[in-house]
Structure 1
Amino acid sequence: MESCAGPYQDGVWKIRVELPDAYPYKSPSIGFVNKIYHPNVDEIATTSIFCNGFSYFHSDLVNVFEVFLPQLLLYPNASDPLNGDAAALMMRDHAAYEQKVKEYCEKYAKPEDIGATQEENSSDDELSEEEYDASTDDAIAGEPDP
């Protein structure tokens, strides 16, 4: 996801989306995979960003990516933080906050880093075709049927 105007404008983030079985009646888990310095995003970057703000309006994932996330980046809310350090810096020294955001964008949210982030976070469940073929060749078969 590329960001819009504001201090996040030069950043590109990989977004993780997990839909619960009860979706759209239950909130999806949506989080930033690569690090972002933002008052309303947990520093670990794996926590759901919706918390109690999920509504049926957001249930259409297109709205999440075209409306909710850009608004989150444009209008951070320091009065309801998940990242207390970012919120405190934003309220105390807005220029220093914006500088730190830009540093995070440069360090963690460059377009070329998205591919590296994906490779670093790939799970055993996501094997390439070659890895899958190799793993099945090495599998031990069960006892033959009599």
Structure 2
Amino acid sequence: MAGAIANSNLPRRIIKETQRLLTEPAEGISASPAEDNLRYFSVMILGPAQSPYEGGAFRLELFLPEEYPMAAPKVRFLTKIYHPNIDKLGRICLDILKDKWSPALQIRTVLLSIQALLSAPNPEDPLDENIAKHWKTDQGGAIATAREWTQLYATSN
């Protein structure tokens, strides 16, 4: 696979980032490019310890647009998740994926930020209003639902 990446006509930066993701994965995160499209990544993020998502393995997809790194990667959850900043379609409300994107950021930074968002949901900047309302009015109940969904959709047992 590494040979295919090096011989592709991808920008050098994407090649370097991809090789680093494969050789030095961040803890709890794996990302590998599709063989037929090296701009499309299959991602797995493990639910962080002490979060309602602990024990879950969440599948995401990440795509690097032609304009990358001047434009943010497109990322979405494929695994169903109960989180105020992630909607039913798996879209993620995260500032660095929108107006706070900078070409200095990398795929790795984005994935670490998404992992951090699982540890610290932000109902004040929601993508799913109903879940955010549940989180604000009954945090215990919302966390219980998040744990339940993690068991239902993000574990393989």
Using structure 2 for the length normalisation, give the TM-score: 0.64
User: How far 1:48 sits from its partner (Å)?
Assistant: 4.8
- Which residue in 2 is equivalent to 1:11? 56
After superposition, give the CA deviation of every residue in 1:9-66 in whole Å (9 maximum; x if it has no partner): 1211111001110001101110100111111111121x25423343335x3112222x
Larger relative contact order (CA 8 Å, sep ≥ 6): 1
- For structure 1, the 5+ residue unaligned runs are 113-146
Q: 1:36, 1:105 within 8 Å by CA — same for their partners in 2?
A: yes
Count, aligned residues: 109
2:114 to 45, 63, 69: 69
What is the aligned-residue RMSD (CA, Å)?
Answer: 1.6
The answer to whether the 8 A contact 1:29-1:48 is kept is: no
TM-score, normalised relative to structure 1: 0.68
Q: Deviations over 1:52-101 (max 9, x none)?
A: 343335x3112222x20121111111011001111001100011001100
% identical aligned pairs: 28
Query: Which segments of 5 or more consecutive residues in structure 2 lack a partner in the other structure?
Result: 1-44
Q: 1:1-146 to 2 correspondence within 5 Å? A: 1-5=45-49, 6-45=51-90, 47-49=91-93, 50-57=97-104, 59-65=105-111, 67-111=112-156
More helix by share: 1
The structure carrying a bigger strand percent of its residues is 2
Structure having the higher Rg? 1
Structure 1 residue ranges (4+ consecutive) displaced by more than 2 angstroms after TM superposition = 47-57
